[in-house]
Amino acid sequence: MMSAEPALYQPNSKVLFLSICSLHKKKGGTPEYARQESIASRLSPTLAASLLKKREEIRNLIWSGDISWGGIDTAELEYNNNLAPGAEFGGSADWAEYLPAISRYSGRFYLALGAEGRRKLIESRHHALFISGLYGLVTPTEPIQLYSCPLEGESVIQKAWTTDRLLTNVLIDYIVRNQVTRVFDLTSRNDYRNVIDWAYLKEKTGVDVLYCFTKMSAYDYALIEFGNLLREELLTWPEEKLLSIEPESTIEDVIFRAVSETREDLPKEHDIFILQKAAGEVPGLPAYSLDQIPQRLGIASGNSDIDSQFKKGRKGWVVSFTSEFRKNLSQYNDKKLQGRVLEAVAEIIVSPTTKRGDTIKPLSGPLAGQWRYRIGDYRLIYLPDEVAKRVSLIAVRPRGNAYDD
């Protein structure tokens, strides 16, 4: 059912906020499809047709059985059970259920926005678009169905949108038609950010782009900071103030950069991903008594007091180590560092969750629950479990490659 009501989303500033969809979504909806809210209604007829055609190709991919996510066929994912060939795919199915994108998405960015931020975003004069694995780009009020279509690096879905720069050209057309001169990249994840050819976009539009990063987190967790900043500050700022933000400026905990790479002193998406993945191994890892550790790791501290402490052990406590931790120790091939790691473990097991100055500290943000031990320019990341009486050694990494604070 098509709606002929005036569009709710009517931005007219020169500023565009670009973020991403979310894994978690609200269920339900209505059969009414408000085409006037869609990005397709704001594009050239040729690009609008190409966008709808690509969406339908991806919808068919979801049902083909050729792609999976998390080891599960996308056709079997719950959110895709009733994904219909509706108007947004160039179809005419009348059983589709729609919600505005800003209401459908319920992940970190949208939870941080809250009801207040969602209202401000719709009422704001500034533009906002969300990158979606299934839909490509959507406006905040665009009607979308319930679906699961993660857009991960080097995936079939990512290639579908980057072939012939389709999604980049859609964004270029939107920018030109709406006379946007500045884009705030709030994507937080490289797999979403990289579906846009930024160099080509800047060349064709002359638009200025500020890429956003945070001091405290990266990857999906940065979306929380972005949502908070939009709600509390940016959505209420006039166009002139937003256009005056300089590269390397900081507002709250968000840093604005003219390049799409984070700074060396900031948390990095790749490193956080590696540490999270390593921590995911913990439930299935074998555990060893303390006196077994030097032998299992094939190293010795060279310190008789430390060796004695390992042999004596702490009653009831065990230690496990991830493949990442083993790889780190092996690749550094530094006997002195390896000895210091053993010394650190011997000290950690005395009281794994007791802070000690700048040496032993808990981590926060995406790595909350893990702790770090400072070893000169290196950081030993570990996961303590007081109930199971186990310390799991996650990784040993140079300070610049560890999520430090």
pLDDT in tens, 44-55: 999 999 999 999
The b-or-e profile of 135-147 (16+ CB within 10 A means b, else e) is bbbbbbbbbbbbb
Chain center to CA of 247: 22
Q: What is the pLDDT of residue 261?
A: 83
Check the CA dihedral 268-271-273-275 and report its sign.
negative
Q: Tens of pLDDT along 159-194?
A: 999 999 999 999 999 999 999 999 999 998 888 999
Going by C-alpha positions, the residue among 81, 74, 129, 73 that lies closest to residue 101 is 129
Every domain range in the chain assigned CATH 3.30.2310.20: 270-401
Q: Which residue has the tokens 């059969």?
A: 31
> CATH for 270-401, among 3.40.50.9100, 3.40.50.300, 2.30.40.10, 3.30.2310.20?
3.30.2310.20
CA 318 – CA 286 distance, rounded (Å): 10
Closest CA to 14 of 141, 184, 223: 184
Angle between helix 108-123 and 222-232 (nearest 10): 20
pLDDT (0 to 100) of residue 295 = 75
pLDDT of the residue at 368: 79
So what's the pLDDT on residue 197? 97
* Residues of the chain scoring pLDDT < 70: 1-7, 70, 153-154, 265-271, 299-316, 365-366, 399-405
